[in-house]
Structure 1
Amino acid sequence: MSTTDNISRLSQAKSLCELFQHTCTTRAGDLALRTPDGKTALTWGEYRARVRRLAAGLAAIGVEHGDTVAIMLTNRPEFSLVDTAAYHLGAIPFSVYNTNAPAQIAYLFDNAGNRVVVCERQFLARVLEAKEGGRVEHVICLDDAPAGTMTLTELEALGDPEFDFESRWRAVEADDTITIIYTSGTTGAPKGVEMSHRSAIFATEAMSGIPEFAVGCGGRVVSYLPDAHAINRWYAHYMPAVTGAAVYTLANSKDLAAALPVVRPTVFITVPMLWYKIEAAVRAALAELTGPRGTVAAWALEVGRRKVATDLGGRPISPLLRLRYLLAERLVLARLRERIGLDRTSIAYTGAAPITPETLEFLLALGIPVAEAWGMSEIGLATSNRPGAQRVGTVGTVLSRVEMRCLADGELVVRTPGLMKGYRDDPDRTAEAVDADGWVYTGDVGVIDADGYVTIVDRKKELIINSAGKNMSPANIESAIHAADPLIGSVVAIGDRRKYVTALITLEPEAAAEFAAEHGIEGSPQVLANDPAVRRELDAAVAAANARLSRVEQVKAYTVLPVFWEPGSDEITPTMKLRRAVIAKKYAGEIDALYARDRI
């Protein structure tokens, strides 16, 4: 099917159920869901059969059109099975972050009003505590069934063999709610973004106009980001249901580096932190090469850089550079991509935070087709760079059928078919975010150039305005420092209403453990934070970052906190966003100490 025909089919689809059923019919024997070790593997035909049985089971315990179903699972094939079964009933499955505490889970259950929860045994205690006094009646526990719960197998067995599955999924409409995405809540309580079948489909429709995406989207993807986040829900669940991509599920995201050479994804999405780790690993591997091999590797990388600079500059590639690049590809670059596991990737995306231009250009020089894109849970994907028409430092141009304007204060507003239905049971906050004409006030400050390329400056409420009135993006400062050394886990730039910028730094747990082993240091965060070798490493990293920042943005002092911050902690959301207000209050003493004497 041509790209035009595919886009037409998507735009005319009544629901994701219709597209899923079409994929299952046309690709019945192809791989649909798999764990990297191969212990679980389902074809599309088997996937559909399991969905039918689970839908019948859910109907048997009273799940009707419009009902909500909570899912608290790691990334595993059962997530796709349960979620798909629920939305085929016209029900509304939603995912709970694995790191959520009982009180947070209880808040979600109260807002969603679900009577059914599907979870793993490792989360059961929190689920049972959260449901006390609430409306939950049925708990399905995947691994076993303690008293008061049932297994997934038992749920399937409850279904009526004569259950009219087809009439149920055919009754689902485009504007029916397909899920609730609970924002990770950097401030205040999470908001429940209600996504329709129409908006779930739109992102794939809009992206299908990018040839590299169209080529890769029917191949292989790896599901490792939280399914409670909008990007993984689309990229590793809804999009494959449309395109027939095989989904490899990874229960622990820390295993991603080992899994990539196994999966060899054709489309890949991740955050800047992982790209920095890939860059550091490649540079370390190249540094170990000596003699002729080292010389050839350095030459190949330089050729890759020249080609990228020529491409980004819009200049034609000379015959000599083309010949050198083909040789560099054969001898070095293709082998490096194969080693990483991205040798078959048609397009890769980076998002959620800005990535440094230097890192992006390094990845492009390796031949990894990385592009920046931008979106939000409320609007889905909105912009994307395109291979061959990419501008480093921007998030690209708006996708087909998306409109964007920049207001006088720099805030970006967007109107899109991917618009949410609203925040669940929260009309006031919905009205604050979306005006009567459908324009979403994103809260992001940006710039749109004459050619339509969008640059995101920062969150409107997070801009640093120093005591001299200079506006700065903390994210820009933080990404520069973060990219300078893989030992750095999190960076928080401080400087609002201050004379100069300082920073709080935490160490990355895995890199810190390796550093401790190499230097014979006891590996606790308390010891590492005060170790001279760590301090020398970070001094060099901050100096390197400062060299890339303007004078006013440069970090004059920093402190290393004696803790590791994990996703879902007080300081960081499950999607790795900084809870700045919490951090400012919790570490007020450390921040004040950085300004205890004039450092200028």
Structure 2
Amino acid sequence: MTSVAADSNPALNVTMNGLPASSRYASGGPRPPHGTINALFFDAVERFDRADALSTKVRGVWEPMSHRTIMDRVRRTALGLAEMGIVAQDRVAILSENRPEWLIADFACICSAITDVPIYPTLPADQLPYLLNNSGARAIFVSNADQAKKVASIRSEVPGLQWIIGFAATTADGCDLTLAEIEAKGAAVDNAERATTFKRDALAVTPDQLVTLIYTSGTTGNPKGVMLTQDNLYSNVISTKTTLHVSTSDLALSFLPLSHIFERTGDYFLFSNGVRIAYAESIDTVPVNMSEVKPTMMMSVPRLYEKIYARVVENAVAGGGLKKRIFFWAKNVGEKWADEKLAGREPGGVLAMQYALAQKLVFSKLKERTGGNLRFFVSGGAPLSPDIAKFFYSAGLIILEGYGLTETSPVISTNTFENYRLGSVGRPIPGVEVMIAADGEILSRGPHIMRGYYNHPEATKDAIDEEGWFHTGDIGELTDGFLRITDRKKDIIVTAGGKNIAPQPIENMLRTNKYVSQAVMIGDKRKFPIVLIVPNWDQLEKWAASQSIVWTSRAELLAMPTINAKMEKEVNAKLEGLAHYETPKKIALLEHDFSVERGELTPTLKVKRRVIDKSYKPLIDSLYEE
């Protein structure tokens, strides 16, 4: 493979020497200097030294934690681990929901050159032994009694695991000791000299030091441990700093799992910029927590925006009459206003007056639901529907969509206020190169690319070629330096007639319907595509009640011709405009959501299409036999 040198022009878009003319290349510009997350941590504590660096809700009250308290607790935790004999190069797992202790344990490990292994708190117990054994974890931090009992139940299968350490869990829950006890061990040997030595040793950690093993959930096979170094994460944080501007006046609500690289690197970015971080109580409480802490920014996967959009539309429709007409009038005005702004023109005249009225009557209420102070959202982890992005943009709540993977630390590209293109995932960030291969696959190269997969040299070789290009597995396009994702390479459906279908955009479109919770297209090597639909039960049951339909179970409801006709109508309305060959010919309604526990979703809620195809094979086969 022949490449060209990285260029400082962020919009570079050239034909590659030795590759088909359709292959394209873009560079975010020069890479940042080498560095470490440890240096960013100490710098942030000393430079900002604020009393409310973090906050979390305790017994109904939001309690702040200062930079100095964080530093003291990180140091004492690190010293306590050393007293236990856990030293540099050891592995320590973290199984916890978001909370300040997650960050404290993380920084204690990486400042000590201990490699931590984050594990999704939603994973069932039977998936833990593989991760703990493969990584060689000597200890694991757990958040609460439920997580402690989960680990205790499989402990006999993990002979190398020596300690279970509880944040809020105790020995009664199966822990060997608590974080408080480890901090006490550290405090017993802590003094001014040890503090100086701790800082010196942490800052002496080299950029190539392994920071973390993050196991990718994957859609096939066992998870692989992604090896990320200090410099991988540091370069990503520094490059993001130059493209996404935040300040000490910002407050972020953190609710995506810190075991997810998107939230974790994002929190490093926030912490190093002096942004206050408030940890949501849970994903379910995000709407309430938004109104309480009034964030100025938030990071999320598209599902949050889909739910907000569906709720707003539902409330407008349920209001009926004048309320409904005003909402859809405002939505139409907002879209016209957005078209002008996105075309680089300033809306004026009647449109400007209409938009001001739409803001007052409709959009201002949406902003109030987010707390009233929100400057922007960041979206990643999966494709965001352009229709939803445009709706938020027209409401004055911009969503900056970006792109990346665990293997890329994670950010490859992102939209910014200065360079924004709806439907794209932005331009590459500084130091990052992007190229579209001949088959449409997105390749990336730069300091953000992982060291490799732990104990998987062949998988590493398959993912990173000899010239350093990481093969993302995603299909995309580059236009004027802006990257657009069209689908996952492994998800492309090739029908028996040889037609190629990208299912993700169609599934995203279907999920914007208020009656649809989940949608998965099937059709590889078959005559035509079909779609499996999980209804939004709240909406469907309300509609059924309004039609005086009587039912005793959801299975009974799904068997009714009236319900099937209703769902077919709703689904087909979203499929208008598709080519004949990519339009699902039949739909099947499912009673239960796809789940992580049944192996149908990854912990990051990506669909395992092959698993679903296999799990629902009798149902799917029946649709093709009819």
Distance of 1:176 and 1:218 partners within structure 2:
33
Given residue 70 of structure 1, which amino acid in structure 2 is its aligned partner? A
1:190 pairs with 2:223: yes
Residues 555-575 of structure 1, C-alpha deviation per residue, up to 9 Å, x if partnerless? 211111232323343211111
Deviation at 1:81, TM superposition (A): 1.3
Aligned to 1:589: 618
Aligned to 2:207: 174
1:202 pairs with 2:235: yes
Distance of 2:347 and 2:175 partners within structure 1:
67
Q: Secondary structure at the match of 2:245?
A: helix
Q: Secondary structure at the match of 1:208?
A: helix
Deviation at 1:475, TM superposition (A): 0.8
Instruction: Verify the 8 A CA contact 1:481 1:491 in the aligned structure 2.
Output: yes
Aligned to 1:4: none
Aligned to 2:289: 259
Cα 1:92–1:524 change in 2 (3 A) is farther
Deviation at 1:354, TM superposition (A): 2.3
Cα 1:218–1:577 change in 2 (3 A) is farther
Deviation at 1:346, TM superposition (A): 2.6
Cα 1:186–1:545 change in 2 (3 A) is same
1:127 pairs with 2:154: no
RMSD over equivalenced CA pairs, Å? 2.7
Aligned to 1:563: 592
Tell me: higher relative CO, structure 1 or 2? Use CA pairs within 8 A at least 6 residues apart.
Answer: 2
Cα 1:251–1:62 change in 2 (3 A) is farther
The answer to which of 328-337 and 569-578 deviates more is 328-337
Deviation at 1:290, TM superposition (A): 6.6
The answer to which of 503-512 and 19-28 deviates more is 503-512
Given residue 226 of structure 2, which amino acid in structure 1 is its aligned partner? V
1:232 pairs with 2:253: no
Distance of 2:576 and 2:212 partners within structure 1:
45
Aligned to 1:347: 376
Q: Secondary structure at the match of 1:85?
A: helix
Q: Secondary structure at the match of 1:443?
A: strand
Given residue 350 of structure 1, which amino acid in structure 2 is its aligned partner? S
Deviation at 1:262, TM superposition (A): 1.9
Deviation at 1:217, TM superposition (A): 8.0
Deviation at 1:498, TM superposition (A): 2.0
Cα 1:253–1:308 change in 2 (3 A) is same
Matching of residues 19-418 of structure 1 within 5 Å: 19-36=40-57, 37-119=60-142, 120-132=144-156, 133-142=158-167, 143-146=169-172, 149-159=176-186, 160-162=189-191, 163=194, 164-210=197-243, 213-215=244-246, 219-235=250-266, 237-288=267-318, 297-318=327-348, 320-341=350-371, 343-379=372-408, 380-387=410-417, 389-418=419-448
Deviation at 1:551, TM superposition (A): 2.2
Distance of 1:182 and 1:543 partners within structure 2:
38
Instruction: Verify the 8 A CA contact 2:95 2:140 in the aligned structure 1.
Output: yes
Cα 1:514–1:108 change in 2 (3 A) is farther
Cα 1:454–1:137 change in 2 (3 A) is same
1:539 pairs with 2:560: no
Q: Which runs of 5+ in 1 are unaligned?
A: 1-6
The answer to which of 195-204 and 429-438 deviates more is 195-204
Deviation at 1:430, TM superposition (A): 0.8
Deviation at 1:242, TM superposition (A): 1.0
Distance of 1:537 and 1:181 partners within structure 2:
43
Deviation at 1:508, TM superposition (A): 4.6
Distance of 1:516 and 1:256 partners within structure 2:
29
Cα 1:564–1:244 change in 2 (3 A) is same
Distance of 2:268 and 2:543 partners within structure 1:
40
1:445 to 475, 481, 493: 475
Given residue 276 of structure 1, which amino acid in structure 2 is its aligned partner? E
Aligned to 1:495: 523
Given residue 163 of structure 2, which amino acid in structure 1 is its aligned partner? H
Cα 1:524–1:370 change in 2 (3 A) is farther
Distance of 2:533 and 2:247 partners within structure 1:
38
Distance of 2:603 and 2:536 partners within structure 1:
16
Cα 1:148–1:238 change in 2 (3 A) is closer
Distance of 2:540 and 2:87 partners within structure 1:
50
Instruction: Verify the 8 A CA contact 1:404 1:415 in the aligned structure 2.
Output: yes
Residues 364-395 of structure 1, C-alpha deviation per residue, up to 9 Å, x if partnerless? 11111013211111112111223354332222
Cα 1:100–1:298 change in 2 (3 A) is closer
Aligned to 2:11: none
Cα 1:580–1:311 change in 2 (3 A) is same
Q: Identity of paired residues, percent?
A: 30
Deviation at 1:345, TM superposition (A): 2.7
Given residue 177 of structure 2, which amino acid in structure 1 is its aligned partner? M
Given residue 596 of structure 1, which amino acid in structure 2 is its aligned partner? E
The answer to which of 471-480 and 379-388 deviates more is 379-388
Instruction: Verify the 8 A CA contact 2:401 2:414 in the aligned structure 1.
Output: yes
Given residue 489 of structure 1, which amino acid in structure 2 is its aligned partner? S
Instruction: Verify the 8 A CA contact 2:453 2:459 in the aligned structure 1.
Output: yes
The answer to which of 180-189 and 523-532 deviates more is 523-532
Distance of 2:543 and 2:180 partners within structure 1:
46
Q: Secondary structure at the match of 2:625?
A: coil
Distance of 1:280 and 1:397 partners within structure 2:
29
Deviation at 1:595, TM superposition (A): 0.8
The answer to which of 127-136 and 110-119 deviates more is 127-136
Distance of 1:56 and 1:77 partners within structure 2:
18
How does the TM-score come out when normalised to structure 1?
A: 0.90
Cα 1:32–1:500 change in 2 (3 A) is same
Distance of 1:521 and 1:364 partners within structure 2:
41
Aligned to 1:457: 486
Q: Which runs of 5+ in 2 are unaligned?
A: 1-27
Instruction: Verify the 8 A CA contact 1:384 1:398 in the aligned structure 2.
Output: yes
Q: Secondary structure at the match of 1:254?
A: coil
Q: Secondary structure at the match of 2:570?
A: helix
Instruction: Verify the 8 A CA contact 1:312 1:389 in the aligned structure 2.
Output: no
Instruction: Verify the 8 A CA contact 2:255 2:279 in the aligned structure 1.
Output: yes
Given residue 123 of structure 1, which amino acid in structure 2 is its aligned partner? Q
Distance of 1:104 and 1:118 partners within structure 2:
17
Cα 1:190–1:293 change in 2 (3 A) is closer
Deviation at 1:317, TM superposition (A): 2.7
The answer to which of 262-271 and 411-420 deviates more is 262-271
Distance of 1:109 and 1:566 partners within structure 2:
22
Distance of 1:332 and 1:545 partners within structure 2:
24
Matching of residues 468-483 of structure 1 within 5 Å: 468-483=497-512
Distance of 1:541 and 1:217 partners within structure 2:
46
Deviation at 1:524, TM superposition (A): 5.4
Given residue 382 of structure 2, which amino acid in structure 1 is its aligned partner? A
Cα 1:437–1:217 change in 2 (3 A) is farther
Deviation at 1:319, TM superposition (A): 5.0
Distance of 2:366 and 2:389 partners within structure 1:
16
Instruction: Verify the 8 A CA contact 1:182 1:228 in the aligned structure 2.
Output: no
The answer to which of 147-156 and 525-534 deviates more is 525-534
Deviation at 1:283, TM superposition (A): 1.8
Instruction: Verify the 8 A CA contact 2:290 2:369 in the aligned structure 1.
Output: no
Distance of 2:148 and 2:555 partners within structure 1:
33
Given residue 181 of structure 2, which amino acid in structure 1 is its aligned partner? E
Given residue 18 of structure 1, which amino acid in structure 2 is its aligned partner? A
Residues 542-596 of structure 1, C-alpha deviation per residue, up to 9 Å, x if partnerless? 1111114222221211111232323343211111111122111111101111111
The answer to which of 169-178 and 325-334 deviates more is 325-334
Q: Secondary structure at the match of 2:443?
A: strand
Q: Secondary structure at the match of 1:555?
A: coil
Residues 118-168 of structure 1, C-alpha deviation per residue, up to 9 Å, x if partnerless? 112102232123332421111112222236611111111111224432233
Given residue 195 of structure 1, which amino acid in structure 2 is its aligned partner? L
Given residue 519 of structure 2, which amino acid in structure 1 is its aligned partner? V
Instruction: Verify the 8 A CA contact 1:504 1:558 in the aligned structure 2.
Output: yes
